[in-house]
Amino acid sequence: QPPNEIEPAAPTFSAPVITPSPTAATIDAAVPTRTDTPSQSAVPQATVTTMDNPTPLITTPVPTAVLPDAAASMAVPLVSSLGRLAVVQEHVLFVETAVGSANLVEIARNVAPDIQSEDGPVANPAATWSPDGSRLAFFYEMGTAVYLAIWDSRTEQIQTLPNLVNKALPPVPFTSFRWSPEGNRLLLTTSDRLTADSEWTSGVWIATLDSRELTLVVEARQLVDTAWLNTGSFFLQLRCGHDCATIMAYDVNRRQLWKAYEEDDEVLSASTFYALNIAQGLLVNLNNFAPQPVVDVLDTVTGELTSVWQLAADEAFALLPPHISPNGRFLTFNTTNSISLVPTLHLIDRDGRDYGSRDNATVLDWRPNGGPVVVQAMGDNQNQLVYWPLDGAAARIFVQPRAFTFPGGQWRADGQYFIYSALDPTNGASYLYLWSPEQGTPFLIFSAAATQPFQDFAWAPDGQRVFFTLGGQGMWAYDLETGQVQQISVMEGGTGIPPDNPN
Nearest one of 291, 285, 343 to 318, comparing CA atoms: 343
Tell me the C-alpha distance between 316 and 493, whole Å: 55
Could you tell me the CA-to-CA distances from 346 to 18, 28, 293, 486 in Å, in that order?
19, 20, 15, 40
Residue 128: inside a domain: yes
Cβ atoms of residues 384 and 362 within 8 Å: no
Report the 10 Å Cβ neighbour count for 42.
Answer: 14
Read off the pTM. 0.81
* Domain contains 199: yes
What does the alpha-carbon distance between residue 337 and residue 292 come to, in Å, rounded to a whole number? Answer: 14
Going by C-alpha positions, the residue among 140, 132, 127 that lies closest to residue 95 is 127
How many residues make up the chain in this entry? Answer: 503
231 vs 210: CA distance, rounded Å: 14
Pairing status of strand 274-277 against strand 123-124: unpaired
* Predicted local confidence at residue 115, as pLDDT: 56
What CATH number does residue 183 fall under? 2.130.10
Cα separation, 318 vs 298, in Å, equals 20
Angstrom CA distances, 80 to 129, 213, 278, 279, stand at: 6, 26, 19, 19
Beta-carbon contacts of 326 under 8 Å, excluding residues fewer than 6 positions away, are: 277, 279, 366, 367, 368, 369
Q: Are 238 and 203 in contact (CB under 8 A)?
A: no
**Do 347 and 355 meet the contact criterion of CB atoms below 8 Å apart?**
yes
Is 3 part of any domain? no
- The answer to whether residue 1 sits within a structural domain is no
Residue 140's contacts (CB-CB under 8 Å, 6 or more residues apart) are 108, 109, 110, 111, 112, 146, 147, 149, 498
Name the strand (E) or helix (H) holding 164.
helix 161-165
- Residue 40's CB: how many other CB atoms inside 10 A? 10
Number of structural domains the chain divides into: 1
pLDDT, residue 221, reads: 73
The helix or strand, by DSSP H or E, that contains position 378, with its residue range, turns out to be strand 372-379
**Residues 6 or more apart in contact with residue 98 via CB below 8 angstroms:** 84
Range of the structural domain that residue 375 is part of: 54-220+306-491
1 closest CA partner among 83, 82, 68, 58: 58
Residue 263 falls inside a structural domain = no
Which pLDDT does position 237 carry in this prediction?
A: 82
Report in angstroms the alpha-carbon separations of 402 from 4, 51, 321, 382, 399. Answer: 10, 16, 25, 5, 8
Task: Tell me the backbone φ, ψ of residue 13, rounded to 5 degrees.
Answer: -130, 145
User: Do the beta carbons of residue 323 and residue 331 sit within 8 Å?
Assistant: yes
Q: Considering the domain boundaries, does residue 375 fall inside one? A: yes
Distances (CA, A) of 124 to 179, 273, 369: 12, 17, 29
Do 294 and 325 touch, CB atoms closer than 8 A? no
- Report the SS3 class of residue 163: helix
Digitized pLDDT (tens) for each residue of the chain, 503 residues in all = 443 332 323 332 233 232 222 222 222 323 333 334 333 333 344 344 443 333 333 334 466 665 544 445 556 789 999 999 999 888 889 999 999 888 889 999 888 765 544 444 345 677 999 999 999 999 888 776 778 899 999 999 999 888 888 877 766 677 889 999 999 999 998 876 666 666 677 889 999 999 999 999 988 777 778 899 999 999 888 765 555 578 889 999 999 999 887 655 545 544 457 899 999 999 999 887 777 889 999 999 999 999 999 999 889 899 888 999 999 999 999 999 877 677 899 999 999 999 999 999 999 999 998 999 999 999 888 999 999 998 878 889 999 998 999 999 999 999 999 999 999 998 899 999 999 998 888 999 999 988 899 999 999 999 999 999 988 778 899 999 999 998 887 765 554 455 445 44
Task: Please tell me the distance from the alpha carbon of residue 135 to that of residue 106, in angstroms, as a whole number.
Answer: 15
Q: Is residue 419 part of a domain?
A: yes
Distance in angstroms (rounded) separating the CA atoms of residues 198 and 299: 37
Q: Return the pLDDT at 465.
A: 95
As a dihedral over the C-alpha atoms of residue 313, residue 314, residue 318, residue 319, rounded to 10 degrees, the angle is 80
Residue 440 maps to a domain: yes
